[in-house]
Amino acid sequence: MKKNTVTIDGREVAINGERNLLELIRRANIDLPTFCYHSELSVYGACRLCLVNVEGRGICAACSTRAEPGMVVRTSTEEIREIRKIAIELLLANNDHNCPTCNKSSACQLQNLARRLGITEVRFKSRKAPEPVDRSSPSLVRDPNKCVLCGDCVRACSEIQGIGAIDFAHRGHNVAVLPSFGKNLNQVECVNCGLCATVCPTGALTPKSEVEAVWKLLDDPTKTVVAQIAPAVRVALGESFGMAPTSVVTGQIVAALKAIGFDRVFDTSFTADLTVIEEANEFLARKQAGKNIPLFTSCCPGWVKFAEQYYPELLSHISSCRSPQQMFGSLAKEMLPERYGIDRKDLVVVSIMPCTAKKYEAQLPRFEKDGIRDVDHVLTTQELARMIEEAGIRFDQLQPESLDLPMGFKTGAGVIFGNSGGVTEAVLRYAVEKVNHVKLESPDFMIVRGQEGLREATVRLGDEDVKIAIVHGLANARKIAEQVKAGTCEYDFVEVMACPGGCIGGAGQPVPKDVQVRMFRTQGLYAADKMLQLHKPQENHFVTELYETKLGEVGGHAAHRLLHTSYQSRRRIADEDLSLTSSGQAKLTVSVCVGTNCIVRGAQDLLHKLVHHVEGQGLADEVDVRASFCFEQCDRGPTVVIGDEVIHKCTFDRACQALNDALIARSASAM
């Protein structure tokens, strides 16, 4: 019998359940180059860089070849090296790769492979015309000129997030990765999570930078600039300066920010403690009343936008608590101007976040007062690293400094918010003591910890069991949302984070080469919790003092004004509809909603009939039939708008009659 091994470049390597030859080769400490391979995504096999020579088979793609006993594999023959070089040269020739000015410079896989493969010149000429860069999103920049068509972003958006805001379009030489209907990112169903930017191997998708705007504010002597640091940043920023992922560098971050010019540095973990108290009491009240259960957490703006787009009927199930970022901004703009003796307009709040969706969240109109945003700017972990480098600060040699009080004080409950399961555990540390009237000797709830995308737990609160779900990745959140819609959901409390692993895996973090880095960051946050003396939000005496002096009772009027919010249903596709007849400015517009719920109620057939009716009756010069993507009446479709008249549960006969009436009225008014 053959040994359960593969011979790789003359060495025998045991097969231990790897899903393909590529993973086995990497376990043998050979780093085969790839663009399109991610262990958490489906195998795509497009880039053809992981080619190997398998004896008896010839050249194969290692990612799509199963490891079989007895295989003899060579990974670096002259022929394979030449194929790889040609592939990289073609990519360099056919795209704009101006490395020194690219945000992904030094972290770009294409740049890295060109160096590894010894490419010193590009022998081919580009045949592509430059395309405009899409800067419309508040969170991301999409540069199609740097896209290598690896499809990583497409699969991540579809498979992990279940959205599909971007996909392949066109054919042959014209193939491209685009948002729906060729629109900009801010016009489609993108939730700003930035997972596409995390997996993108080049600078085609990157977090949108606010660095220059922050520098200008720091240089303005009339402004008092304060920072808040999110929990997950402290276990990731050090990676940008050669430190281990488990390194907790809170003190060095404070020192760096003050050296850069920030006046005060606070901790978002302070308002995470506050979030626990508000959210836990909200949950207990709902549970007792049996209303709007399950309660979904509201800390992740990517998840909230996802719900607003796809599940507006479930918005009453989302906690009304603002995210810790927005709670901090609200409190800072309410309290600090008086404390510092300045006008509210002269206080600048800058968030340091692991998340690109936080940029979108900070710009929402509901988080403004008198035209002044609660959070003025959001910098990702990557952007802060760039500012530190630009200032010439040797981060790894900094002496730690202390966070400022009172909003720099926190408990371990606020710190673990950065992990998937951390919000749930923090809520349990509060709720179990409150309901069961016992003091927890150990604050740890290991039952909610883990790496799986969907986890379940049951905890005893008072006289009943509370069923909990913890999910990360919006495709997993969709499963539970569908259960709630169908009335089959058994959970009482659901924690949702859009990014794999939670905030520690946010798109604004340094991009890891190994998914295990997320696990190390998680360990770092739990270690940070252990290094603190207090681990439960109810033990934060500054939070207690805040309720006594400013907020009043938990969930009361003042607390609601400063710490809570509301949500809204959002259109699926923004700005314009699709015209299915030749359009003209003076025409009567007929819009048919083709959102999912209207489609299943017959909207597509109705749309086709109306187009044929208009063309068949010779009305193309008078009527413009359009496909719209949402009238926010999902339970009353198909919905049709003819002129100013909205018709719900519309039939073809009703639409024809309304169209005829509108044309008669239009003709009469023109006389």
- pLDDT for 29 equals 92
As a whole number, mean pLDDT of residues 209-221 equals: 97
Confidence of residue 172 (pLDDT cuts 50, 70, 90): confident
CATH number of 5-76: 3.10.20.740
Among 320, 321, 323, 304, CA closest to 312: 304
Confidence of residue 36 (pLDDT cuts 50, 70, 90): confident
As a whole number, mean pLDDT of residues 12-29 equals: 91
> 89-98, 308-317, 476-485: which range is least confident on average?
89-98
As a whole number, mean pLDDT of residues 609-631 equals: 83
Class of 86-207 in CATH: alpha beta
As a whole number, mean pLDDT of residues 219-234 equals: 97
As a whole number, mean pLDDT of residues 560-564 equals: 95
% of residues, the chain, pLDDT over 70: 96
Mean pLDDT for all residues in the chain:
91
Q: In the sheet that 454-461 helps form, which strands lie side by side, from edge to edge?
A: 295-296, 493-497, 464-472, 454-461
- pLDDT for 580 equals 58
Separation between Cα atoms, residue 346 and residue 355, nearest integer Å: 26
Q: What is the DSSP-derived secondary structure letter of residue 100?
A: G
| Distance of alpha carbon 515 from the chain centroid | 17
Task: Reply yes or no on whether the pLDDT at 634 is more than 80.
Answer: no
Task: Reply yes or no on whether the pLDDT at 595 is more than 80.
Answer: no
Confidence of residue 620 (pLDDT cuts 50, 70, 90): confident
- pLDDT for 419 equals 95
1 contact partners, CB below 8 Å, separation of at least 6? none
- pLDDT for 671 equals 61
- pLDDT for 571 equals 59
- pLDDT for 630 equals 63
Task: Reply yes or no on whether the pLDDT at 553 is more than 90.
Answer: yes
Class of 578-670 in CATH: alpha beta
Task: Reply yes or no on whether the pLDDT at 383 is more than 80.
Answer: yes
> 173-182, 307-316, 456-465, 540-549: which range is least confident on average?
173-182
Task: Reply yes or no on whether the pLDDT at 379 is more than 90.
Answer: yes
Separation between Cα atoms, residue 247 and residue 501, nearest integer Å: 17
Tokens of 64: 């799509």
Task: Reply yes or no on whether the pLDDT at 1 is more than 80.
Answer: no
Q: How many CB atoms lie within 10 A of CB 331?
A: 22
Query: Which sequence spans correspond to the domains of the chain?
Result: 5-76, 86-207, 211-563, 578-670
Tokens of 40: 């958490």
- Alpha-carbon separation of residue 559 from 279, 587, 631 (angstroms): 12, 51, 34
Confidence of residue 100 (pLDDT cuts 50, 70, 90): confident
Topology adopted by domain 211-563: Rossmann fold (3.40.50)
Tokens of 274: 């506050």
- pLDDT for 520 equals 95
